[in-house]
């Protein structure tokens, strides 16, 4: 297990005389669309990360925290490692993956058992081979076993790409939470003495505004087609808590790169934005357990994917 002492401690970490705790950072990596964020959400039992059927959904390395008695696991979900067009956003996403595997106690490499490895899997394997210290355990998580025809054969092909892996297992992050909980138990058993990095009641390192923005982006990505899902960003600009006789109000901007895109996102007579808003509001209401008023505005922010200031505003860059 690698040393994690250079991670900053947030919240009430026990002092030298406090009870002995154990903790560990676990990175979740893999090519786009294999189910990394689904795995994170199942590991935590809450939805902290957006999931869509489209690749490159995750843009930011979200941390999800699982605390059980004297142990704390900090999972780091990462963007799918992809070729990309080399935009500033692509570069930021690659950096997220590279940074995520430094100084962690274990790495989960998520692969899709429905298919044999392709070039993108091979480049993830190369990255893991060159960047992962020999002391950091690598676990291959073969996902989507529920939909795989030849899971054992596929898993073997992934194992061949990473002979240094300590373990390889077949699971379904979407349909078999029990297998995911068993993996979580194994990780809880394996971590070593260390402080709690987050307060015990915290489930993710995102602000509520960032979390809501991701759920709104998820709804937009699900509804939009072709290049559009990738040229959309969401920022929550205001959040007013409920008052007597009025539900909470969340106001968010949906950024697009072109005027033509703005027209598509709004849709004929506002039909598209209404659908996106309805889906996002329902999701938010389920998780917040309250009625909401969601106000969406579509804003043209030219070339935001190339604009480092914009990427910082969105939290995609430090
Ligand atoms: N059949 C099946 N589908 C799954 C499983 N896990 C995830 N999926 C689906 O795979 C798709 C992608 O899931 P995500 O969790 O967003 O994948 P990701 O690896 O985080 O993707 P990026 O963030 O784009 O890199 C979604 O449609 C999920 O519902 C599984 O165990 N079985
Ligand atoms: Mg993801």
Q: What is the DSSP string of 38-71?
A: HHHHHHHTS--S---SSS----S--EEEEEETTE
**In the chain, what percentage of residues exceed pLDDT 90?**
82
CA-wise closest residue to 107 among 83, 127, 88:
127
pLDDT value at position 10?
47
Residue 4 lies in a domain: no
Q: Any bridge partners for residue 109, and if so which?
A: 29, 140
The sheet that has 292-300: what strands, in order across it?
233-240, 248-256, 292-300
Report the C-alpha gap between 193 and 208 in whole angstroms. 30
Q: Clarify whether residues 46 and 170 are in a common domain.
A: yes
CA of 110, closest atom in ligand 1? 19
Q: Any bridge partners for residue 199, and if so which?
A: none
Residue 105 lies in a domain: yes
Our mutation pick for probing the ligand 1 site, out of 35, 56, 62, 177, counting the most ligand atoms within 8 A of Cβ, is: 35
Give CB contacts under 8 A, 24+ apart, made by 240-245: 242/290, 242/291
Residue 201 lies in a domain: no
Q: Clarify whether residues 91 and 132 are in a common domain.
A: yes
Q: Would you say the CB of residue 146 lies under 6 angstroms from ligand 1?
A: yes
Q: What tokens does 302 get? A: 């030219």
- Domain edge (last residue) among 163, 193, 223: 193
- pLDDT (average), residues 246-274: 97
The mean-pLDDT minimum among 78-87, 168-177, 254-263 falls in 78-87
- pLDDT tens, residue by residue, 96-127: 899 999 889 999 999 999 999 999 999 999 99
Our mutation pick for probing the ligand 1 site, out of 29, 42, 51, 61, counting the most ligand atoms within 8 A of Cβ, is: 51
- pLDDT tens, residue by residue, 140-181: 999 999 999 999 999 999 999 999 999 999 999 999 999 999
Question: 35 C-alpha to center of ligand 1: Å?
Answer: 3
Report the C-alpha gap between 171 and 177 in whole angstroms. 9
pLDDT value at position 3?
40
CA-wise closest residue to 172 among 220, 227, 240, 113:
113
Q: Which residues contact 285 (CB under 8 A, 6 or more apart)?
A: 291, 292
Residue 65 lies in a domain: yes
**CB-based contact 195:13 (threshold 8 Å):** yes
How many other CB atoms are there within 10 angstroms of residue 263's CB atom?
13
Distances (CA, A) of 96 to 78, 79, 203: 6, 7, 20
- pLDDT tens, residue by residue, 189-222: 999 999 999 999 999 999 999 999 999 999 999 9
Q: Is the pLDDT of residue 227 over 90?
A: no
pLDDT value at position 17?
59
Report the C-alpha gap between 22 and 171 in whole angstroms. 26
- Domain edge (last residue) among 135, 158, 193: 193
- pLDDT tens, residue by residue, 3-49: 434 444 444 444 455 689 999 999 999 999 999 999 999 999 999 99
**CB-based contact 4:143 (threshold 8 Å):** no
Phi, psi at residue 25, to the nearest 5°?
-100, 130
Residue 1 lies in a domain: no
| Average of per-residue pLDDT values in the chain | 92
pLDDT value at position 61?
85
> For position 217, which CATH number holds?
3.30.300.20
SS3 category, 243: strand
Q: Clarify whether residues 307 and 228 are in a common domain.
A: yes
Q: Clarify whether residues 180 and 242 are in a common domain.
A: no
Residue 7 lies in a domain: no
Q: Clarify whether residues 236 and 269 are in a common domain.
A: yes
Number of domains in the chain: 2
Q: Would you say the CB of residue 42 lies under 6 angstroms from ligand 1?
A: no
Residue 109 lies in a domain: yes
Tell me which residue range forms the domain holding 246: 208-313
Question: 242 C-alpha to center of ligand 2: Å?
Answer: 31
**CB-based contact 56:90 (threshold 8 Å):** no
């Amino acid at each position: 297990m690698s040393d994690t002492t250079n991670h900053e401690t947030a919240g009430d970490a026990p002092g030298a005389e406090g009870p002995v705790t154990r903790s560990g950072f676990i990175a979740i990596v893999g090519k786009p669309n294999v189910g990394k964020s689904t795995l994170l959400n199942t590991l935590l039992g809450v939805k902290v990360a957006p999931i869509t059927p489209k690749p490159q959904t995750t843009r930011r390395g979200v941390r999800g925290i699982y605390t059980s008695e004297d142990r704390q696991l900090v999972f780091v979900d990462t963007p799918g490692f992809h070729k990309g067009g080399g935009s500033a956003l692509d570069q930021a996403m690659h950096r997220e993956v590279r940074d995520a595997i430094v100084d962690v106690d274990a790495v989960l490499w998520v692969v899709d058992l429905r298919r044999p490895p392709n070039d993108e899997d091979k480049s993830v394997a190369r990255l893991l081979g060159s960047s992962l210290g020999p002391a950091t355990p690598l676990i291959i998580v073969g996902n989507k076993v529920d939909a795989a025809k030849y899971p054992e054969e596929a898993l073997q092909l992934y194992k061949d790409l990473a002979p240094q892996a300590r373990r390889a297992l077949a699971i379904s992050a979407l349909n078999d939470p029990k297998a995911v909980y068993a993996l979580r138990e194994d990780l809880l058993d394996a971590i070593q003495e260390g402080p709690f990095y987050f307060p015990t009641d915290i489930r993710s390192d995102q602000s509520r505004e960032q979390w809501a923005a991701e759920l709104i982006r998820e709804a937009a990505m699900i509804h939009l087609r072709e290049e559009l899902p990738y040229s959309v960003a969401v920022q929550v600009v205001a959040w007013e808590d409920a008052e007597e006789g009025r539900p909470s109000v969340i106001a968010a901007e949906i950024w697009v790169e072109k005027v033509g895109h703005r027209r598509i996102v709004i849709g004929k007579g506002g039909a598209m934005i209404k659908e996106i808003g309805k889906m996002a509001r329902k999701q938010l209401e389920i998780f917040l357990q309250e009625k909401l008023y969601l106000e969406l505005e579509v804003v043209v922010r030219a070339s935001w994917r190339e604009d480092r200031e914009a990427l910082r505003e969105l939290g995609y860059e430090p």
